[in-house]
Amino acid sequence: MRSMFRSILLLLALVCSSAQAQLSIEITGGGANQIPIGVLRFAGEQVLSQNISDIVEADLQRSGRFRMLFAGNVEPLPTEMAQVNFTDWKSRSADALVIGSVVRLADGRFEARFRLFDVPKQTQIGGVAFTMNAQQVRTTAHRIADLIYEKLTGDRGVFSTRIAYVVKQGSRFELQIADADGVGAQTALASREPIMSPAWSPDGTRLAYVSFENKKPVVYVHSLVSGQRQAVANFKGSNSAPAWSSDGKQLAVVLSKDGGSQIYLIGADGSSPRRITNSASIDTEPFFSPDGQSIYFTSDRGGSPQIYRMGVGGGEATRVTFDGSYNVSPRISSDGKTLVYIAREGGRFQLKSFDLASRQTQALTDGQHDESPSFAPNGKMILYATQSNNRGSLAAVSIDARVKQRLSVQAADVREPAWGPFFNN
């Protein structure tokens, strides 16, 4: 667990009471300029069902942006700055150090406190005390990891976010939701017909997806709060490829009701569909730019599938990709600067990034069947579906292609990942 620079396998099933198969995560490769950091055990954390320090450390390690220093054998554990042996940590080239403590409160809840230090400067650069109940240990640990990550990298952490994906086991399909580290998977929907294209509403309370339970693709919106689901696009023909507008009020969907696959805007409740593409070609895979002004999409209007951009109201489209004969599945980073997409090259389908300002293209993966990319809300990682041993699994790659993770579920086919938004609380 505390080993450095090596691929690690987190057998997270151990920490979850759920009987479901858990995603396990394998990390390969490390980022450039990793920050050397020590995460000490939190004094008193053994009163909890899990060590907060273990979860924080695993989160930071998984991001690929930290080099974890061995932090065992420190006795007694410091809980205040004055107790930290900075000379020792300096000699071990630590840039940052995390200490913490956990105490049980009179009302049965717990207080978990951490402090983050800049070791060379010997100053505290962060610290929060959380009051939590026994069920909030993991949530609290992810929050702490988020705060440390943001303080040290300048980017917002995504350890508290969640991911959705589809698991196929035999003839059973399940839409599942798990924490970003793959733990705590819960099933939102189970069906004997395929489920695809899950998309998170911007506030993280709803998922839009395509289900084949009516023998054809129909778009549903599913509330994760109430469990209620509603068919929002169920027209004659096929209904697919839902994408949320940034205000969460509208969906772009692809309908074939008027002939051919064309892009429409509809209310998130299925109201007033309005067609926004008018071609005799395939127009599909709409994706809103973060400013809500444009829609990126895939079209074969130029003879081969390529990525285009148009205004949100429709109208003239501009071609975005030119190299190659198959460029599909456009997704835009939350800062609007980077496009990622799937390109076919020599029969292989791989993830590529395209810097919209410099127009530089970079290959991010080298798989055979990579598909369905989804940005982390901070834009630093991309989750996607890949294949290994003839089975679907999920993988993630950093935007600079240096950090790679593989997420797999024992004996099941996993596909169609969607990384959820930040929670605003």
Alpha carbon distance 321, 364 (integer Å)? 16
Q: Which is nearer to another protein, 147 or 403 (CB)?
A: 147
CB of 195 to another protein, least distance (A): 9
CB of 168 to another protein, least distance (A): 10
CB of 116 to another protein, least distance (A): 8
User: How many Cβ atoms are within 10 Å of 113's Cβ, its own excluded?
Assistant: 19
Q: Any contact of residue 372 with another protein (CB under 8 A)? A: yes
Judged by CB under 8 A, which of 24, 51, 197, 393 binds another protein? 197
Alpha carbon distance 180, 266 (integer Å)? 30
Q: Which is nearer to another protein, 30 or 296 (CB)?
A: 296
Judged by CB under 8 A, which of 31, 36, 194, 367 binds another protein? 194
User: How many Cβ atoms are within 10 Å of 229's Cβ, its own excluded?
Assistant: 16
CB of 408 to another protein, least distance (A): 19
Q: Which residues in 272-311 contact another protein (CB under 8 A)?
A: 282-285, 298, 305
Q: Which is nearer to another protein, 229 or 337 (CB)?
A: 229
Q: Which residues in 136-165 contact another protein (CB under 8 A)?
A: 136, 139-140, 143, 147, 150-151, 160, 162
Alpha carbon distance 309, 318 (integer Å)? 5
Q: Which is nearer to another protein, 27 or 98 (CB)?
A: 98
Nearest-10 crossing angle of helices 52-62, 137-153: 40
Structure token pair of residue 145: 């990891």
- Distinct helix (H) and strand (E) counts, the chain: 3, 30
Q: CA separation (Å) from 99 to 82, 92, 155? A: 12, 16, 21
**SS percent in the chain: helix, strand, coil, step 5:** 10, 45, 45
Q: Which residues in 32-71 contact another protein (CB under 8 A)?
A: none
Alpha carbon distance 242, 288 (integer Å)? 11
Q: Which is nearer to another protein, 117 or 403 (CB)?
A: 117
DSSP class of residue 70 equals: P
CB of 229 to another protein, least distance (A): 6
CB 235 within 8 Å of CB 257: yes
Q: Which residues in 92-121 contact another protein (CB under 8 A)?
A: 113, 115, 118, 121
CB of 422 to another protein, least distance (A): 7
Q: Any contact of residue 188 with another protein (CB under 8 A)? A: yes
Question: What number of chain residues touch another protein (CB under 8 A)?
Answer: 85
Q: Any contact of residue 362 with another protein (CB under 8 A)? A: no
Alpha carbon distance 53, 202 (integer Å)? 30
Q: CA separation (Å) from 73 to 50, 69, 85, 124, 233? A: 19, 12, 13, 22, 59
Q: Which residue has the tokens 């065992």?
A: 72
CB of 222 to another protein, least distance (A): 7
Alpha carbon distance 294, 286 (integer Å)? 10
CB of 14 to another protein, least distance (A): 21
Q: Is 87 exposed, middle or buried (0-12, 13-18, 19+ CB in 10 A)?
A: exposed
Q: Which residues in 310-339 contact another protein (CB under 8 A)?
A: 326, 328-329
Structure token pair of residue 102: 């956990």
Q: What ranges in 218-377 are assigned the alpha helix state H?
A: none
Q: Which is nearer to another protein, 284 or 393 (CB)?
A: 284
Q: Any contact of residue 248 with another protein (CB under 8 A)? A: no
Judged by CB under 8 A, which of 46, 190, 315, 355 binds another protein? 190
Q: Which is nearer to another protein, 131 or 318 (CB)?
A: 131
Radius of gyration of the chain measured on its C-alpha atoms = 23
Q: Any contact of residue 211 with another protein (CB under 8 A)? A: yes
CB of 15 to another protein, least distance (A): 17
Q: Any contact of residue 237 with another protein (CB under 8 A)? A: yes
CB of 70 to another protein, least distance (A): 25
